[in-house]
Amino acid sequence: MNIYRNIKIVFGIALAASLASCAAGGEDQGLEYAPNMYHSVPYEPLTQITDESAGTAAEWLDENSDGHGEYYNSNPLNPHGMTMRIPPANTVKRNKNGFLPYRLPKDSLTLASRTLKNPLPNTDEVIEDGHMLYNRFCEHCHGGAGQADGLVSEKFPGVANLTGAAYKDITEGHIFHVITWGKGLMGAHGSQLSPEERWKIAKFVKTLQK
Amino acid sequence: MAQKISLKSVFLALVLLSSFLFSYSSQAQEATEEAATEAPAEGGSNAPSEVPTDEARISEGKSLFDSNCKTCHRVHEKLVGPALKNVYNRAPSIDWIVNFVHNSSKVIASGDDYANKLYKEYNQTQMTAFPSFSKDEILSILGYIKQQTDKGPEVAAAAQPAAGAGDAAQSGSAIPEGYLNAIMIGLIVVLVLILVVLLLITTVLRKYLNQRTDLDEDDAELVNAQFSLSSTVKSTPFIFIVTFLFAAIAFKVVINNLFAVGIQQGYAPKQPIAFSHKIHAGQYEIDCNYCHTGVRKSRSANIPSPNICMNCHSAVKTESPEIQKIYAAIENDKPIEWVRIHNLPDLSYFNHSQHVKVGGIECQTCHGEIQEMEVVHQEALLTMGWCIDCHRKTDVNTKGNEYYDNLVELHNAESKDALKVENIGGLECAKCHY
């Protein structure tokens, strides 16, 4: 019976070793090597360690006396301990092209469509950029040719057919305003697209409507 | 004197009369002008106000309906606007429909009861004006609606069996689980049967050989050989094999586990909301960039904030408990705490825009077939060796990028191979570690 006992021992050890394995999978993040080089000390966007005891072991050697474990990485001064903050009120984001934030409110659609002019030149490059952006941000609802036949439009009611009679003669300013604020059931896309990108899309949509 | 006065009064009367006549005629002219401008929009008021039934008009109506009305209306179900079945009987008149389509806000402003009731019922949503439609076109659309109304809502009924068939086909391809078990059990039974048969054959053979008397001693010993377990176990070759196997397995396990330290490949944590990339990126083909807005602009690809979810989920699946979690997050102004899956150590720097925008690398190259993942797991190793390997193999995306022109020229002067990432410092330590 010795042979069975030996086999059992071998398999037992192998099983125990694989159970206690260091590899990740499912909920298990796996064993970290040198974790104090893994976790950021300064606040990082999109990552936050809320456990105050994270990394207490690392403090045995080098106490920083902040009352938290070394890897605790949340800003207690922000709501929900978030590491990112909402920009202060009345501050303005600027870029190299001098685009300032769009200031017309949502209900000024007619004013926007009458007064706004596309600051971008009418070049192929701009239209091609607009096409690329359209495919990323608009196509899944409005469809490749603007005919409201995108895959999402099966589930989402009220997708506008951009080539339809009601939209054929809208101005680029109108398109810009609607992308920024949304209209009807369409949501506001101002947070996803910069003003420049919105103008590019507006240029491209006009080519769809020709 | 009296004659003078009468002359004066006659003159005055003439002036008054003429001015009156003139103003009247100009008014009349204006009126006819107005009528002239409105007439084409009305589409010829002498067109018959009956819903057409001939095929050509209906198919014209269908194409008009599909490209203009379908956005907000269906024939049998309420969408943004009311369901349109029977609208030709329901509305006050055909002309009322025509006016409403041309400019609904004008009809509402005129104080029309029916229009105002509709306006209130649909949360004061104004119907887009279609002033370019002629009355004939609107009648064609009504013709299509009438045809569909008469047909009844069989479209939905027809769609359901089709969906059911799809499900059946799907489960047909997924069924083998129970099937496989049956096959395995069958195989085991067959193997056991073979074992029994073999044992029977050996016993029969041994009995037969023992009955024979002409066997010499060696052969007899072979036939009646006794298997001694203890002597086998104690034999040197056996001990050697067992020790070797044990050492080899232990060594392999130890090495494997040591190499897995610090690697999170396969990490697939449960997220606070059961978001499926398979549905969003796979089934509906929503571009990754739509939600991960930073991927071409910054170091991080970004986790979308709830306002981006709401672009669709303001109307899609609003009853689902998972979607309700988004609404709760917005209501309480509390961030959704997604669990980060790809945790690159702080000691190395990685930039998404550099790889995706400049390098033109697909998301799937590093993140795997994300559009097929119900739950996202870390697909790539994300080790230094993995990065370096790609930097050695990958050509730099120099096309249409002036920045690389001089580098390509210098590189081509020295080498015949394409410009790889390693040639522009992709293997330098300080490129990622600083």
Residue carrying structure tokens 């947070």:
A191
* Residue of B124, B267, B318 to mutate for A, most A C-beta atoms under 10 A: B267
Task: Tell me which long-range contacts B211-214 makes (C-beta under 8 A, separation of at least 24).
Answer: none
Nearest neighbour of B300 by CB, restricted to A33, A45, A152:
A45
pLDDT at res. B312: 93
- How does B4-15 read in b/e, with b if 16+ C-beta sit within 10 Å? eeeeeeeeeeee
pLDDT at B13: 52
Chain A interface includes B260 (CB < 8 A) = yes
CB neighbour list of residue B426: distance below 8 Å, 6 or more residues apart: B391, B392, B420
CB-based contact, A161 to chain B, within 8 Å: yes
* Cα A129 from Cα A203, distance rounded (Å): 10
Q: Return phi, psi of residue B420, to 5°.
A: -95, 165
Predicted local distance difference test score (pLDDT) of residue B269 = 93
Least trusted range by pLDDT, from B42-51, B74-83, B107-116, B280-289: B42-51
Nearest to B263 by CA among B384, B347, B147, B374: B384
- The Cβ of residue A130 has, within 10 Å, a number of other Cβ atoms equal to 24
Least confident span in B219-233, B241-255, B334-348:
B219-233
Would you call A44 helix, strand, or coil by DSSP? coil
Contacts of A152 in chain B (CB under 8 A): 284, 286, 312, 316
Q: Chain A: give the shortest CA distance to residue B129, in Å.
A: 7
Q: How far apart are the C-alpha atoms of B424 and B359, rounded to whole Å? A: 13
Q: What is the pLDDT of residues B210-242, one digit of tens each?
A: 887 777 777 777 777 777 778 888 888 899 999
Domain at B55-156, CATH homologous superfamily: Cytochrome c-like domain (1.10.760.10)
CB contact under 8 A, A156 and B315: yes
Question: How do the domains of chain A map onto residue ranges?
Answer: 33-88, 109-208
Residues of B in contact with A142 (CB under 8 A): none
Look at residue B44 in the predicted model and tell me its pLDDT. 43
Backbone angles phi, psi at B422, to 5 degrees: -65, -25
pLDDT at B113 over 90: no
Distance from CA of B376 to the nearest CA of A (A): 10
Chain A within 8 Å of B214 (Cβ-Cβ)? no
Residue B284 CA: distances (Å) to CA of A146, A155, A187, B2, B250: 16, 10, 18, 96, 48
Subunit contact B70:A152, Cβ cutoff 8 A: no
Interfacial A residues in 33-52 facing B (CB < 8 Å): 33-34, 37-41, 44-47
Q: Is a pLDDT exceeding 70 seen at residue B384?
A: yes
Query: What's the DSSP call for residue A73?
Result: B
Nearest to A140 among B246, B253, B284 (CB): B284
CA distance A201 to B143: 37
In this complex, which of B132, B267, B312 lies closest to A30 when CB atoms are compared? Answer: B267
B260 and A22 in contact by Cβ < 8 A?
A: yes
Tens of pLDDT, residues A21-36: 567 778 888 888 888 8
Which class does domain A109-208 fall in? mainly alpha
Mean pLDDT (chain B) is 82
Which pLDDT value is given to residue A21? Answer: 59
Is B162 at the interface with chain A, CB within 8 A?
Answer: no
Band the pLDDT of B1: cuts 50, 70, 90: very low
What per-residue confidence (pLDDT) applies to A10?
Answer: 63
> Nearest C-alpha of chain B: how many angstroms from A198?
13
Question: Which DSSP letter does residue A49 get?
Answer: B
The pLDDT value given to residue B174? 53
Tokens 């080539």 map to which residue?
Answer: A163
Residues of A in contact with B261 (CB under 8 A): 22, 30-33
pLDDT profile of chain A (210 residues), mean per 10: 61 57 77 83 86 82 79 88 86 74 89 92 95 95 91 87 88 95 91 92 93
Report the distance separating Cα B299 and Cα B262, nearest Å: 22
Q: Supply the pLDDT for residue B232.
A: 81
pLDDT band for position B36 (cuts 50, 70, 90): very low
Alpha helices (runs of H) in B261-320, residue ranges in sequence order: 277, 288-291, 306-313
Residue B360: pLDDT over 80: yes
Q: Rounded to an integer, what distance in angstroms lies between the CA atom of residue B240 and that of residue B28?
A: 120
Q: Lowest-pLDDT range, A157-166, B33-42, B211-220, B279-288?
A: B33-42
Instruction: Give the span between the Cα atoms of B87 and B141, in whole angstroms.
Output: 11
ipTM value greater than 0.90? no
